[in-house]
Amino acid sequence: MADGIQKHEYVDPRPPVLGPGHDLRSVTSKIADIVFMRGFQKGWVFGFAVAFLGALMLFNTIAYLVLKGIGIWGNNIPVGWAFDIINFVWWIGIGHAGTLISAILLLLRQSWRNSINRFAEAMTLFAVACAGLFPALHTGRPWMDYYLFPLPNTMGMWPNFRSPLMWDVFAVSTYATVSALFWFLGLVPDFATMRDTAKHKWQKVIFGMLSMGWRGDARHWSRYETAYLLLAGLSTPLVLSVHTIVSFDFSIGIVPGWHATIFPPYFVAGAVYAGFAMVLTIGIPVRKFYHLEDFITVRHIRNMCKVMLTTGLIVCYGYALEAFFGWYSGNTYELFMMKNRMFGPYGYMYWLLILCNFLVPQLLWFKKMRDSLFWIFVVCMFINVGMWLERFVIIVMSLNRDFLPSSWRMYRPTVFDFSMFFGTIGFFLTLMFLFIRFVPMIPIFEIKVMLPEAKVDEHKVEELTKGKAPVGVTPVPQFGD
């Protein structure tokens, strides 16, 4: 054996993060052309129309809800919370993938995130918007919602600061604000590119305003990078805190099935799980429709599958421990809760959940499955459904049979519960369709960074500048430095 480090011809076995044969110009045109395309493609129009019908259904439901009150929902006593909170948690969870991809993967220097982050962040924003509708309308008088905030008032009424619902108001509104800022900041350089490549005057004006005077100056970039890292650093604890606080909504209470110490990490993992499933559910068709295979590559999809598998297993670890401790605790109510979950009147929901969130996603262990878009899509659909079922199992099944058998009551959703839920899906998709058509959905400049042209040959720079730092280049701070 030779001494010293041996240099082997090491070929990275992973597929590339960017398709071959691209240069600066082709990247810009490939992404910007989707926005500058004249007219609308039939597929887009059809998809948009269907989604918009869903959104209209939502608006109608909201109008009727405000007119009649929340009695039109199936909520009852003891199930005072049902679809409204299930859908809230479901949507908030879906949003988490966006922040994870854009902030945490940035801090971990995972460059493969570059092509999917914008898209995922847009999803975050729209999902949070959908989520916010539910608690806001659940109050019954949404025009009084400002009472959720601790505003000084002559009646001396304050929200209960010990209530996790109060914490939710702060967590979710902060999260929405930071996500919006992060998304917009990332868009600024691309808006400038759009301004410069636009052919019509009005397009130049609109993108010109949105790009806020960006000239691509070295100083702009330096400040941009700093701001982007700072926002990433801010968003990272938010990803954890939002879903942790959502989990406190339940675990701070003492209802069996809600009061479990594992809830915070288990909810966060579930959120990321659901979020990645949704990114893929939307990403796979969009990638095909707009021929973006070079930017959203097999590598991206494989990596996302691995994240789903990991977070999915953490969620299933939670299921397993809840079941085990239901028995181990020796507590009558815990024991009953677990029996009721598995074999009670809604027992089929629990087993469906196990099928969707545990059994089917195990397919992702196999490389063949991780390479087949069709199967990934199928698995993602199961996860989307499974994560909704999980919240149903936790929320409704714990409430409808609690401590006192005389107050037990079954819960049945009404048509308005469904029209509101499917309506938000329509609303979400409407916004996604608009986003895809009118905003560059893949960050142009971040893709360019991955091009061979963008790689600085440090030895050459040193040779040219003879050891002096090149003029106009300031070192960019990295997070964690």
Partner 1 sequence: MNTKYAAPADLGKIQGIAFGLGLLGLIGWVIGVVMSGGHAKDTFFQTYLVAYVFWIGISLGCLGLLMIQYLGGASWGLVIRRPLEAAAHTLVLMLVLFVPIIVGLHSLYEWSHDPSTLSEAARKMVEHKKVWLNPTAFAVRTAVYFAIWLGLAFTLRKFSRQQDENADMGAVQRAQNWSGPGFLFYGLAVTFAAIDWIMSLDLEWFSTIFGMLTIAGQGVLSIAFLIWILVILGKREPMAHVYQPKHFHDLGKLQLALVMVWAYFSFSQLLIIWAGNLPEEIPWYLERFKGPWRYIGMALIFLHFLLPFLLLLSRDLKRDARRLKLVAALLIVMRIVDLLWLIVPEFEHGGQHHTSPAGYVTYVAAVIGLGGIWLGWFFWQLRQRALLPYNDPQLHEALAAGGHH
Binding site for partner 1 (CB under 8 A): 1, 3-8, 10, 13, 109, 162, 240, 244, 248, 251-254, 259-265, 313, 317-318, 320-322, 325, 328-331, 365, 478, 480-481
| Identity of the residue, 139 or 163, whose beta carbon is nearer to partner 1 in the bound complex | 163
Give Cα 221 to chain centroid, integer Å.
Answer: 27
Least distance to partner 1 from the beta carbon of 252, Å? 5
**Cα separation of 337 and 453, whole Å?**
61
Tokens of 193: 């590119």
Least distance to partner 1 from the beta carbon of 246, Å? 13
Least distance to partner 1 from the beta carbon of 152, Å? 27
Least distance to partner 1 from the beta carbon of 328, Å? 6
> With 0-12 CB in 10 A as exposed, 13-18 as middle and 19+ as buried, what is 221?
middle
Least distance to partner 1 from the beta carbon of 480, Å? 6
DSSP class of residue 215 equals: -
Of the candidates 354, 335, 361, which has an alpha carbon nearest to the alpha carbon of residue 393?
354
Tokens of 144: 């009084």
Are 123 and 97 spatial neighbours (Cβ–Cβ below 8 Å)?
Answer: yes
| Identity of the residue, 129 or 313, whose beta carbon is nearer to partner 1 in the bound complex | 313
Least distance to partner 1 from the beta carbon of 337, Å? 13
Tokens of 104: 């945490």
| Identity of the residue, 24 or 255, whose beta carbon is nearer to partner 1 in the bound complex | 255
**Cα separation of 264 and 267, whole Å?**
5
| Identity of the residue, 47 or 318, whose beta carbon is nearer to partner 1 in the bound complex | 318
| Identity of the residue, 58 or 393, whose beta carbon is nearer to partner 1 in the bound complex | 393
| Identity of the residue, 3 or 457, whose beta carbon is nearer to partner 1 in the bound complex | 3
Least distance to partner 1 from the beta carbon of 66, Å? 34
Give Cα 213 to chain centroid, integer Å.
Answer: 30
Least distance to partner 1 from the beta carbon of 147, Å? 23
| Identity of the residue, 8 or 215, whose beta carbon is nearer to partner 1 in the bound complex | 8
| Identity of the residue, 70 or 461, whose beta carbon is nearer to partner 1 in the bound complex | 461
Tokens 């707009």 sit on residue: 290
**Cα separation of 321 and 327, whole Å?**
10
The contacts of residue 402 (CB under 8 Å, 6+ apart) are 78, 255, 256, 408
**Cα separation of 141 and 149, whole Å?**
15
Least distance to partner 1 from the beta carbon of 35, Å? 33
**Cα separation of 295 and 313, whole Å?**
29
Looking at residue 27, its amino acid is V
Are 432 and 110 spatial neighbours (Cβ–Cβ below 8 Å)?
Answer: no
| Identity of the residue, 259 or 437, whose beta carbon is nearer to partner 1 in the bound complex | 259
Dump the DSSP string for 373-435. HHHHHHHHHHHHHHHHHHHHHHHHHHHTT-S-GGG-------HHHHHHHHHHHHHHHHHHHHH
| Identity of the residue, 44 or 317, whose beta carbon is nearer to partner 1 in the bound complex | 317
Least distance to partner 1 from the beta carbon of 7, Å? 6
356 SS3 class: helix
